[in-house]
C-alpha cells in the first residue's frame, strides 16, 4: 500500500550501501531503506555513487573513502551533507544514519530529523548532541547505549532479513570469532578460550588494529588451532556463521548492539558473550546462548552448548530482530513525529 511519506535516508560514506563485506552502519541503512520501499514509502537514499538500492539514489560522493584513498573523508562528507540539506524541504523526514556532523545543519531546516546513534562512543561528542535536542529526534540501538544527558525518541533494535541467513541444524565442531580485529572485540580472549576448550577457532573480520593483529592473532594462526580468513560477505558470511559450534563474543567494551551476534543466532549458532553493553538485550541466557563474565566462564559455556536447541536459537531472532519489526517501528516513529509537529503548528 503506497505511503504518503517522503524520507531522505542519509547513509555514511565510509563504505558502499549496502557494504560489499564490512560496514555495519551502511548495512543497517540499506536494510531499513529496502524494507521501507517494500512498504510503499517514497525513500531517497543519499549514499556513495556505487551504492545499490531500490529507492531513488542521490549521490555526489564518487566512492567510499575506506575503499578509495583518493576520496578525502572530511571533504566529501560535507559535500554529501550539503547535497542533502540543499533540498531538505522536499522531504517529510530526514533520517540521519551518518553520525553527528549532520546535526550542524538541523537548525537550518524545518524538516524534522531522526538520528540513529550507532553507538555512543565518548562524552567528547556530547557538544554535537545536547544542543540539538530540540531539532533532532535521537534513536538508541539498545537501552544499554542510552546516554543520561540525552533525550531519546525511542530505542529501536536493529533487524536482519531472516531469509539471508539459512538455518543450519548441525553447525560444526569449530568455534567462531566474527568481527573487527581490535582489542575491544576480544579476539585474544576468543583465542584463549578456544585453546583452553580444545577447539579450533575460525576468525573472520577486518584488521582494525594492525599491531594487535600481529601480536594476538597471527602467532595463534602460525601455532595451529586458529584460522584467519579476513572479511567475508554474501554466501561466505552465512556459511561461516552457520558452520560453528558457537560464536565467541568476549568483548572488552560496552557493545551498542552486535549485528554478528544476531546473524549467528539466525543461523542457529549459539553465542557466548561477555555480559556487557547490549548483550543481555540480545542473549537469553540458556536459550540462545550464554552470558559470561570472563574467559574461564566462557570455556565452561562451550562445554554446555550442546544443551541448547539450535531451532530455539533461530526462533529467538525471528521473534525480536527481524527487519520487518525494525521498519515498522521506524515508520511508527516517523508518523508520531509528524503528528506531534502538526499539533504544535495547528
Q: Which residue has the cell 555495519?
A: 24
Q: Spell out the residues 6+ positions from residue 17 whose beta carbon is closer than 8 angstroms to its own.
A: 11, 23, 26, 29, 30, 33, 45, 47, 48, 51, 52, 53
Of 81-90, 225-234, 259-268, the least confident: 225-234
Judged against a pLDDT cut of 50, whether residue 1 lies above it is answered with no
Judged against a pLDDT cut of 60, whether residue 253 lies above it is answered with yes
Cβ neighbours, 10 Å, residue 320: 16
Average of per-residue pLDDT values in the chain: 95
- The sign one gets for the Cα dihedral 131, 134, 135, 141 is positive
Judged against a pLDDT cut of 70, whether residue 151 lies above it is answered with yes
Judged against a pLDDT cut of 80, whether residue 205 lies above it is answered with yes
Cβ neighbours, 10 Å, residue 1: 4
Report the percentage of the chain scoring pLDDT > 90.
Answer: 92
Of 79-88, 100-109, 182-191, 225-234, the least confident: 225-234
Rounded-to-integer distance, Cα 56 and Cα 96, Å: 16
Full set of structural domains in the chain with CATH: 6-159+322-345 (3.40.50.2000), 162-320 (3.40.50.2000)
Taking residues 283-293, what's their average pLDDT? 98
**3-state class of 96 per DSSP?**
strand
Rounded-to-integer distance, Cα 329 and Cα 159, Å: 11
Residue 100 near residue 129 (C-beta atoms within 8 A) = yes
Q: What does the pLDDT look like over 67-126, one tens digit per residue? A: 999 999 999 999 999 999 999 999 999 999 999 999 999 999 999 999 999 998 889 999
Judged against a pLDDT cut of 70, whether residue 343 lies above it is answered with no
Report the percentage of the chain scoring pLDDT > 70.
Answer: 98
Rounded-to-integer distance, Cα 201 and Cα 227, Å: 6
Amino acid at each position: 500500500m503506497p505511503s504518503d511519506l517522503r524520507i531522505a535516508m542519509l547513509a555514511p560514506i565510509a563504505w558502499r550501501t549496502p557494504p560489499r563485506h564490512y560496514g555495519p552502519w551502511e548495512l543497517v541503512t540499506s536494510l531499513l531503506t529496502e524494507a521501507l520501499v517494500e512498504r510503499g514509502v517514497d525513500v531517497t537514499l543519499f549514499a556513495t555513487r556505487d551504492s545499490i538500492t531500490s529507492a531513488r539514489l542521490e549521490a555526489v560522493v564518487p566512492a567510499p573513502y575506506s575503499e578509495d584513498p583518493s576520496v578525502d573523508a572530511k571533504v566529501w562528507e560535507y559535500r554529501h551533507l550539503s547535497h542533502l540539506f540543499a533540498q531538505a524541504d522536499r522531504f517529510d523526514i530526514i533520517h540521519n544514519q551518518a553520525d553527528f556532523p549532520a546535526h550542524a545543519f538541523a537548525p537550518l531546516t524545518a524538516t524534522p530529523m531522526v538520528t540513529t546513534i550507532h553507538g555512543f562512543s565518548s562524552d567528547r561528542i556530547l557538544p554535537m548532541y545536547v544542543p540539538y535536542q530540540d531539532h533532532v529526534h535521537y534513536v538508541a540501538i539498545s537501552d544499554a547505549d542510552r546516554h543520561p544527558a540525552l533525550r531519546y525518541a525511542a530505542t529501536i533494535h536493529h533487524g536482519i532479513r531472516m531469509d539471508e541467513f539459512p538455518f543450519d541444524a548441525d553447525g560444526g565442531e569449530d568455534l567462531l570469532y566474527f568481527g573487527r580485529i581490535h582489542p575491544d572485540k576480544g579476539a585474544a580472549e576468543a583465542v584463549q578460550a578456544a585453546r583452553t576448550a580444545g577447539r579450533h577457532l575460525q576468525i573472520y573480520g577486518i584488521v582494525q588494529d594492525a599491531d594487535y593483529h600481529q601480536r594476538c592473532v597471527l602467532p595463534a594462526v602460525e601455532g595451529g588451532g586458529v584460522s584467519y580468513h579476513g572479511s567475508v560477505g554474501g554466501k561466505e558470511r552465512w556459511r561461516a556463521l552457520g558452520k560453528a559450534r558457537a560464536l565467541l563474543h568476549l568483548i572488552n567494551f560496552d557493545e551498542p548492539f552486535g549485528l554478528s551476534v544476531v546473524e549467528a543466532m539466525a543461523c542457529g549458532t549459539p553465542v557466548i558473550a561477555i555480559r556487557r553493553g547490549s548483550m543481555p538485550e540480545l542473549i537469553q541466557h540458556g536459550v540462545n546462548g550464554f552470558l559470561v563474565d570472563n574467559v574461564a566462564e566462557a570455556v565452561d559455556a562451550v562445554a554446555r552448548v550442546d544443551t541448547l536447541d539450535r531451532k530455539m536459537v533461530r526462533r529467538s531472532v525471528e521473534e525480536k530482530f527481524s527487519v520487518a519489526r525494525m521498519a515498522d517501528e521506524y515508520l511508527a516513529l516517523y508518523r508520531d513525529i509528524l503528528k506531534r509537529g502538526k499539533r504544535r503548528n495547528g
